[in-house]
Structure 1
Amino acid sequence: MKSYLGLIPISAKVHRRQNRMTILCIVFAVFLVTAVFSMAELGVRIEADRLLEKHGSQELENLAGSTMAQTLYPIAAVLTLLILIAGVLMISGSINSTVAQRTKFFGMMRCIGMSRQQIIRFVRLEALNWCKTAVPAGVALGIMAAWLLCAVLRFLVGGQFSEIPVFGISITGIVIGSVTGIAAVLLAARAPAKRAARVSPVEAVSGNEKGTGALRHGAKLCLFRVETALGIHHAVSAKKNLILMTGSFALSIMMFLSFSVLVDFVGYLMPQYSDASDIDISGSGGADTVDSGLLDTLSGMEGVKRVYGRRTSFQVPVEISGAAEGFGAAESSGAADLISYDDFGLDCLKKDDMLKKGSDISKVYGDSGYVLATSDADSLLRIGDKVKIGAEELEIAGLLKYDPFSSDGLTHGEVTLIMSGETFIRLTGITGYSLISVQTTGNVTEEDVEAIRAAAGEDCVFSDRRDQNTSGTYRAFAACVYGFLFVITLVTVLNIVNGISMSVSARTKQYGTMRAVGMDGRQITKMIAAEAFTYALSGCAAGCAAGLFISKWLFDVLIAAHFAYAVWELPVNSLLVILLAVILAAVLAVWAPAGRIRKLSVTETIGEL
C-alpha cells in the first residue's frame, strides 16, 4: 500500500454491512431524480409530437415556453431539491454514526502521523467511493422506470402514445441524477469529516469521542419512568444528531406529501367517472326524443354491460327561497336546467366523491321532494334551500363540488338541478330520454356495436366513444405515481430503521454499562423505543407542517392554476399512510438494536470500561 488512501477499498470491504444502507440511500436519491426528470422530458416530448402533428415544425421553437415545459421542469426541480436535501440528511446521519463507531480507528491514524486534513480527505473519498456503484445503479433503475412507463403507454394504452419510443434515453435525467447523487454525498460528508478530524490520539485509547459535552444535569424523571426518560434524554441531548434525524424523517414526509399531489393532478387532468360511457345515443329531433323502451331493448343485447339514460328540460322557471340575494337578478326567481339521473347515475356521484360535505343524496332517490344542484366558489345556493317549480316545492339535499356540464367546471351563474327520473317525470311529464349511454363489456365486438347501432335506428344520433376512453392512460400514470410513493415510503422506513440502529450502535458501550449496573432487557428495549419515538414524533411534526405547506403550493401551481373549480383539501389519507409508515418503521427500528444490546455480555462490557 503506497498511500493511506489505499485503506479506502479495504475499509469498504470491512464495513460492507454498515455501508449497505448508506449506499442504498444514494441509489434511491439518484433513482428518484433520474426518473423524475426522465418523465418530465417524456411529457415534453409528447407535447412536442402533438405540436408537430398539429401545427408543423415551426411550433417546436416555442416548446420551451409552452405550458407543459413551464410546468413540468420547475416541478421536477422542486422535487429534486427535496430529494437532494433528504439524501444529504440521510447520508450525513449514516456517516456520522459510522464515524462515531470508528473513533478508535481515526485516533490510531492520528497516532501514526495522519494530519487532520488527511482525515477529512480520507472520509470524503471514502464517501465518494460509494458513488462508484450507487450512482450507476440509481441511474440504471431510473432509466428502467422510464422504459417501463413508455412500454405501458405504448402497448397497453396506445392511442396518442402508440408511437412513443420504448427505449429512449434522457440525457437530462442521467446528468442531473448523477450530479445530485455526487453532490448529496459531498455535502453529507462535510460535517462527519470534520468530526473525524477532531479525534485526538489520546481518544484512541478509549475509543470514545469527547464531543458529547459535559453532563450538566440528569434526565428529568417527573413524567416518565427512568428508562423512558433516559431514552428521551439520549435523543435530545445530542443536538446535531437530533437535527439530522428529525430533518431526515421530515424530508421523507415532505417528499411523500409532495408526490401525493401528482395523484390529484392526474385525476384532474384525466378525470375518471364511474358513469363514463362507451356509446351515446341521442335524439336527432331535439331533447327527450329517444324512446324510453330503447333502454330495455339495449340492456339485453350482447356486448352491453350497462345502459342508463338522462332526461333534460332547459330554462324552466323556478323560485328559490333561502338563497342569498343576487340569484337571477335581485330577486329569488329565475330559470334552471333540470336533468334526471337514474339510480346508477346517482350512485356514481357518491362513488366519484363529487358531492360537497353535508350532502344527503339518499333523499334524492325515487319519487321524492329533493334535488341536487351544481355549484362552485361563487354559487349562492346552499343545502336546505327551497326550490319551487310550478306548484311543487323541492329542497336542495346536496351540492356538487363543480358543474360537470360546463367546459371549465364553473356554473357561471346558471342553476342546474339534478333529480331522480321519477321526480323529473312528475314535474315535467316528459318520459322520453335526451341521452342513452351504454357501457360495453371488455369482449365487445364490432358486430355487437353494429347491432346496437341498428337497434337505435336512423332517427337517433349514434356516437362511438370507445377511442376517447382515458382509463388506460390514467391507470398508467397513476401506477407510476403510486410507484414513486411506494419507493419514498420504503426509503422513509429504511432511513428510520437505519438511523435509529446506527444511533444505538454508537452508544453500545453506554447501554452495556447500564446492563452492567443492573438494567434488564425490558428496560433497555423501552429506553431505545423512547429514543426512537422521540426522533419519529419530532420528524412527523416538522415534516407535516412543512409538507402541507409545499403540498398546498404544488396544488396551486399544478392544479388550481389550470382548473378554476379545484379546491385544496387536507390530504388526510396521505397523512395517515405516511404517519403509519413512520410509526411502523420506528417499531421495526427498535427491535433489532434492542435484541443486539440484550445479547451483549456484561462481563465483556466491564472489561471494556
Structure 2
Amino acid sequence: MKEGSFPECPDEAVVSENMKEQLGLKTGDKITLKTLKGNLEYIVSGITGDTSMIMKWDVFGVFLNEEGYRDSFLNETETKDMEYYVQFQPFVNIQKSINNICESFSLPKDKVGENAKLLGLMMQSDDTYMMQLYIAAAVLAVLVSAAGIFMITGSLNSSVARQTEFFGMLRCLGATGKQVRKFVKREALNWCRTAIPAGLLLASFVIWGICALLRFLSPGYFKEMPVFAISLPGLLAGAAIGLLTVLLSAYAPAKRASEVSPLTAVSGNAGTVNEIKKPAVKGCFPVEISLGIHHAKGSRKNLFLMTVSFGFSIVLFLAFGTTVDFMNHALKPLQPNAPDISVFGENNTPSLPEELAGIVKEIPGVKTVYGEGMEAGKYTVLNIQLEKKASNETVEKIREAAGENVLFSDKRMSNEEVKGAYYSFAVLVYGFLVVISLIATNCSSTNLLASSIFSSIENSFIKAISKLCASCAFLFPSIHSTSFQRVSLSLNLSGACLGRWISANTTPPFLV
C-alpha cells in the first residue's frame, strides 16, 4: 500500500498506481465500473503499487474486500477460479495439517497447492523439486565441511609440527599419549572460543550485505526481505557445524602428537622433513624450484594433504562450475535488443504508420525505435528502448503519440525482474565458487607450507645444539660421558623451548 488503507466496506476499493496516474485519482474519489450487472460505484480507499503483469498488459488493477467481491462478482466467478489461502501457526507440522484438511473436506491432494518456495525455506515441503534441492544442499554442505576439515587439519598439523619437541618434553615428564591427545584437542577447542564467534559475526555481516545486494538487484522478488535480520537457528547450526568440524579435524593431529617419541624429540630428530637418501637434482629447473620440490617430497604427509587439498578444490570447482551453464539455460538473460515499450497495432494488424517511429524517436528519453511486421508502409509492432534516466512523463508522451486504438505494453518492470532473477542466481553461483576456492586452496596450502617451514626453523636450532655437544665430547674425552648426556638433554630442552618461542612469535597465517 502506497496510500490509504485496505477496503473495510463493500463499497470501497484499492486501485493500482497506473490507474491513479492516468485517471488522476486520489483517495476518497468515486469510480464507476461497467459490468454485466450494470454500473458499480466504489470509493477509492487506497493506492497500491503496480505489478509487471498489470504494466505489460496495460490494464488497471482494482482490489475489493471479500464481502464486496461476493456481493458483486461471486455469481460470475467460475468454480475453478475460487482459491482459499491458509496461513499456519508457527511450529506446526504443515504436511500433516494439509492431510487433515483434505480428509475433513474430502479434497483430492492434487486440488491443494503449496507455496513450495516458502515451505522449502521452512524445511516442510515434500515437493519433488524441493526434495532435489534438499539433497543438493546436503551434498554441498558435506563437501564444504570436508574442505573445512582439510583446512583445519592443515592448521593443526602445522601447530603440532611446531610443538614436536614440546610434546617430547611432556612425554619425558611422564605425560601419557591420552593426555597429549587431550592437550591437542583442547588447543583446537581454544581456537573455537574466538574463531566461532568471529566467524558468526563475519557471516552475519556478509549475509546482510548479500540481502542488501539482492534487494537492489531484484526488488520485485526481494523487496520485502529484511536486511538486518538475525536467524537464531542459523547461528546455532553454524556454531554446531563449526565445532563438529574442528573436533573431526583434531583427531589425526592429536594422534600424531601422541606418537612422538620422547628420546627422538629431545635428540633433535623429530622434524617433519623426513630423511631423504637421494640428493636434490637440479635438472632443467632453476635451483629454487628444484630445492622446493626436493623439500616437499621429504614430508609425505604434508605432500599428501596438499595434493588432496588441491585435487579436492579442483573437483569442487569443476563440479559446481556446471551450474553456470545451468544458470544460462534455466534463466534466460535479457537480450540487448529487448524493448522497454511495445506498441501493437489494432487487433495485432499492420496499422501503425511509419511516421510514428520518427515522432516517437524525437521524444526526450527515447533511445531506440524499431518496427516489426511492416506491410504497405505500416508496422504491426513498434518496439521502443528508453534511456536509463527516462521518466513516466516519457512513457505518457509515447502513449499520447500512439493514440487510442492500440495495445500499449510497458515492459520495464518485467525486464527488471528478469535481470534481477539472473543477477541473483549469478551471485549465488559465483559466490559459492569463490568460497570453494578460498577454503580448499589458499587456506590449506598456506598452512601446510607454513608447517614445513616453521618445523624446519625449530629443527635447525636443536640439531645445531646436538652437534655442539657431540663436538665437545670428541675434544674432551676425559670428561665422563654421562655429564655430556645430561648437558645435551638440557641444551636440547632449551633449544626446543627456544624454537617454540620463535614459532609462537612468528605465527603463520590462518592459524589464528
Question: TM-score normalised to the size of structure 1?
Answer: 0.51
Asked if 2 retains the 8 angstrom alpha-carbon contact of 1:279 and 1:438, the reply is: yes
1: distance between equivalents of 2:436 and 2:238? 16
Partner of 2:170: 109
Matched, 1:456 2:402: yes
2: distance between equivalents of 1:90 and 1:168? 30
Asked if 2 retains the 8 angstrom alpha-carbon contact of 1:89 and 1:245, the reply is: no
> Cα offset for 1:85?
1.3
Name the aligned partner's letter for residue 85 of structure 1.
A
2: distance between equivalents of 1:453 and 1:103? 81
RMSD of Structure 2 on Structure 1 (CA): 3.5
Q: Identify if the C-alpha distance between structure 1 residues 473 and 66 changes in structure 2 by more than 3 Å, giving closer, same or farther.
A: same
> Cα offset for 1:219?
3.7
Aligned mate of 1:297, from 339, 345, 359: 359
Paired residues for 1:122-521 under 5 Å: 122-154=183-215, 157-170=218-231, 173-209=234-270, 215-224=276-285, 227-267=288-328, 268-269=330-331, 271-311=333-373, 431-469=377-415, 470=417, 471-479=419-427, 481-491=429-439, 492-508=441-457
2: distance between equivalents of 1:506 and 1:210? 6
1: distance between equivalents of 2:208 and 2:458? 49
> Cα offset for 1:484?
4.2
Partner of 1:56: 85
Partner of 2:61: none
Paired residues for 1:513-552 under 5 Å: none
Asked if 2 retains the 8 angstrom alpha-carbon contact of 1:153 and 1:473, the reply is: no
Asked if 1 retains the 8 angstrom alpha-carbon contact of 2:168 and 2:261, the reply is: yes
Secondary structure of the 2:261 match is: coil
Asked if 1 retains the 8 angstrom alpha-carbon contact of 2:273 and 2:452, the reply is: no
Asked if 2 retains the 8 angstrom alpha-carbon contact of 1:278 and 1:466, the reply is: yes
Asked if 2 retains the 8 angstrom alpha-carbon contact of 1:108 and 1:201, the reply is: yes
Deviation readout 1:88-142 (Å, 9 max, x if unpaired): 1111112112211211111111111111010011101111111122122222333
Deviation readout 1:136-178 (Å, 9 max, x if unpaired): 2222333333333333444663224332233444455434422
Asked if 2 retains the 8 angstrom alpha-carbon contact of 1:306 and 1:440, the reply is: yes
> Cα offset for 1:229?
3.2
Secondary structure of the 2:371 match is: strand
Deviation readout 1:209-231 (Å, 9 max, x if unpaired): 16755544334455546654332
Secondary structure of the 1:56 match is: coil
Q: Identify if the C-alpha distance between structure 1 residues 201 and 513 changes in structure 2 by more than 3 Å, giving closer, same or farther.
A: closer
Asked if 1 retains the 8 angstrom alpha-carbon contact of 2:268 and 2:462, the reply is: no
Aligned mate of 2:130, from 32, 45, 69: 69
Asked if 1 retains the 8 angstrom alpha-carbon contact of 2:344 and 2:408, the reply is: yes
User: Does 234-243 or 224-233 show the bigger shift?
Assistant: 224-233
2: distance between equivalents of 1:239 and 1:472? 49
2: distance between equivalents of 1:504 and 1:252? 23
Larger radius of gyration: 2
> Cα offset for 1:481?
4.3
Asked if 2 retains the 8 angstrom alpha-carbon contact of 1:86 and 1:251, the reply is: yes
Asked if 2 retains the 8 angstrom alpha-carbon contact of 1:295 and 1:308, the reply is: yes
Name the aligned partner's letter for residue 282 of structure 1.
F
Secondary structure of the 1:105 match is: helix
1: distance between equivalents of 2:463 and 2:185? 35
1: distance between equivalents of 2:381 and 2:314? 47
1: distance between equivalents of 2:371 and 2:168? 81
> Cα offset for 1:259?
4.8
Asked if 1 retains the 8 angstrom alpha-carbon contact of 2:302 and 2:448, the reply is: no
2: distance between equivalents of 1:182 and 1:266? 34
User: Does 177-186 or 89-98 show the bigger shift?
Assistant: 177-186
> Cα offset for 1:488?
4.2
Name the aligned partner's letter for residue 309 of structure 1.
G
Deviation readout 1:456-499 (Å, 9 max, x if unpaired): 12232110112212224433443454444444444433443343
Partner of 2:42: none
> Cα offset for 1:207?
4.0
Name the aligned partner's letter for residue 138 of structure 1.
G
> Cα offset for 1:446?
2.2
1: distance between equivalents of 2:153 and 2:376? 72
Name the aligned partner's letter for residue 446 of structure 2.
V
User: Does 496-505 or 273-282 show the bigger shift?
Assistant: 496-505
Give identity over the alignment, percent: 42
1: distance between equivalents of 2:313 and 2:234? 21
Deviation readout 1:275-307 (Å, 9 max, x if unpaired): 222211122244544333322221221221222
User: Does 56-65 or 109-118 show the bigger shift?
Assistant: 56-65
Partner of 1:99: 160
Q: Identify if the C-alpha distance between structure 1 residues 129 and 278 changes in structure 2 by more than 3 Å, giving closer, same or farther.
A: same
1: distance between equivalents of 2:364 and 2:350? 26
